[in-house]
Structure 1
Amino acid sequence: MGSCCDNSCTLDAKEGRQRSTLIKVLWINAIMFVVIVAAAFYGQSTALMSDSLDNLGDALTYALSLFAVSKGPELKARIALFKGGLIFIAASVVIAQIIYRLVTPTLPVYEVMSIFSIAGLLANGLCLLLLWQHRHEDINMSSVFECSRNDIASNLSVLLAALGVWFFNSGIPDIIIASFLAIILLRSSAHVIKGALAELSNPT
């Protein structure tokens, strides 16, 4: 009695929880992307722009992860590989922004940077809390958790950049922090891609 629920029902319940969490964090990141990208343009901050691109990448990542929830391990690994590529593209855009700001220096608006980095920190903290329970469930959810954890470092870094811009009255701290964020994104991309390739090479 109830044998059908021994495995399949348990799996369905887990997938249902994953879908519910992913839908929530998808909406949070989509909204925060729109808000922060507008703030980045207004505040002329490369670090804040990298933060907004991180939100966009995460929204796409969560959408892909939502699609992958009920898929097999191999497809989940392939989607994780694609997510690693998205993170790499985001890092490349940040690097391009850094080069542009070095060629055409500007003084970012530190008040805007501070306010929206704190808003992003609160939003991403909520995402991390929601994803915490899923972080070891499979390659799909672990790669999602990796992206969300990066966001916390990104928000804190932008806040630090804002303090630097205020203290030194210079755009250099913004560029330095943006460079640091680009490195974090590149390392995260390598980590996700490595994990996905390992999963593909050792199917269970």
Structure 2
Amino acid sequence: MSDCGCHHEAKDGGERRILVIALALNALMAVVGGVAGWIGQSTGLLADALDMLSDAAAYAIGLAAIGRSARFKANAATASGIALLVLGLGLLLEVIRRIGAGAEPESGWMIATATLSLAVNLTVLRLLAPLKQGEVHLRATWIFTRADVIANVGVIAAGVLVLLLGSPYPDYVIGSLIGLYVVKEAVEILSEARKARRPAVADDQR
């Protein structure tokens, strides 16, 4: 009996539904976190919001890659990694700018918003769990969300320290750490994409 392709269609459909939900949640929280970070003058919240915005872009790329060739998927992961690398470096520059200009981060905004983001990211991470052993473009989305969970916990901790110490420096520190972690994750994704591209290119040359 010939393969009707139903299994692949169902698999692609399941992946698409997961990524659509993840995209919507991350886009929403990027807006919420960005507004809260601006109002609360928090580098950590702005960094977290930009991180979630990059995740939304990664999910959009993942959606575009479903059903496409292995080479396209490797290229999609590369695009995600480059975007994340640029974002991480931008976050580090923003921290430096805010240290020079001065800021008064508000702990209440930091703790409340980061807690909401953490709840959303844990939900998304659970949704993405079946994809973390999948193809490279899908593993990239899981890595992004794992980074978000760590960042959320860091922002909450920084907010508590800002409250207790009355100092903006915990916010600067967590903003820097998120930036460095984002750069690390970007390098990991680019490395996986490079490995995935080699067999894809070899197949194209046959």
Q: What TM bracket, shorter-length normalisation? A: over 0.9
For the residues of structure 2 that align with 1:71 and 1:52, how far apart are their CA atoms?
Answer: 30
For the residues of structure 2 that align with 1:32 and 1:178, how far apart are their CA atoms?
Answer: 17
Shift of 1:183: 1.0
For the residues of structure 1 that align with 2:27 and 2:93, how far apart are their CA atoms?
Answer: 23
Residue aligning to 2:3: 4
For the residues of structure 2 that align with 1:176 and 1:170, how far apart are their CA atoms?
Answer: 11
List structure 1 runs of 4+ shifted beyond 4 angstroms: none
Among residues 143, 147, 150, which one is paired with 1:150 in the alignment? 147
For the residues of structure 2 that align with 1:117 and 1:179, how far apart are their CA atoms?
Answer: 16
Preserved CA contact (<8 Å) 1:98 1:175: yes
Among residues 44, 49, 52, which one is paired with 2:41 in the alignment? 44
For the residues of structure 2 that align with 1:9 and 1:138, how far apart are their CA atoms?
Answer: 19
SS of the equivalent of 2:133 reads coil
For the residues of structure 2 that align with 1:22 and 1:138, how far apart are their CA atoms?
Answer: 14
For the residues of structure 1 that align with 2:28 and 2:19, how far apart are their CA atoms?
Answer: 14
SS of the equivalent of 2:175 reads helix
**Which structure 2 residues correspond to residues 68-83 of structure 1 after superposition, within 5 A?**
68-83=65-80
Residue aligning to 2:170: 173
Q: Which runs of 5+ in 1 are unaligned?
A: none
For the residues of structure 2 that align with 1:35 and 1:101, how far apart are their CA atoms?
Answer: 21
Residue aligning to 1:202: 199
Among residues 88, 108, 112, which one is paired with 2:109 in the alignment? 112
Q: Which runs of 5+ in 2 are unaligned?
A: none
For the residues of structure 1 that align with 2:13 and 2:147, how far apart are their CA atoms?
Answer: 25
For the residues of structure 2 that align with 1:139 and 1:80, how far apart are their CA atoms?
Answer: 7
Preserved CA contact (<8 Å) 2:118 2:153: yes
Task: Out of 194-203 and 36-45, give the one that drifted further.
Answer: 194-203
Preserved CA contact (<8 Å) 2:92 2:180: no
For the residues of structure 2 that align with 1:173 and 1:150, how far apart are their CA atoms?
Answer: 19
TM (normalized to structure 2)? Answer: 0.95
For the residues of structure 1 that align with 2:87 and 2:125, how far apart are their CA atoms?
Answer: 20
Shift of 1:202: 2.7
Residue aligning to 1:22: 19
Q: Which amino acid aligns with 1:48?
A: L
* CA displacement 1:85-119 (0-9 Å, x = unmatched): 11111112211210111101212000000000000
Shift of 1:184: 0.6
| 1:127 paired to 2:124 | yes
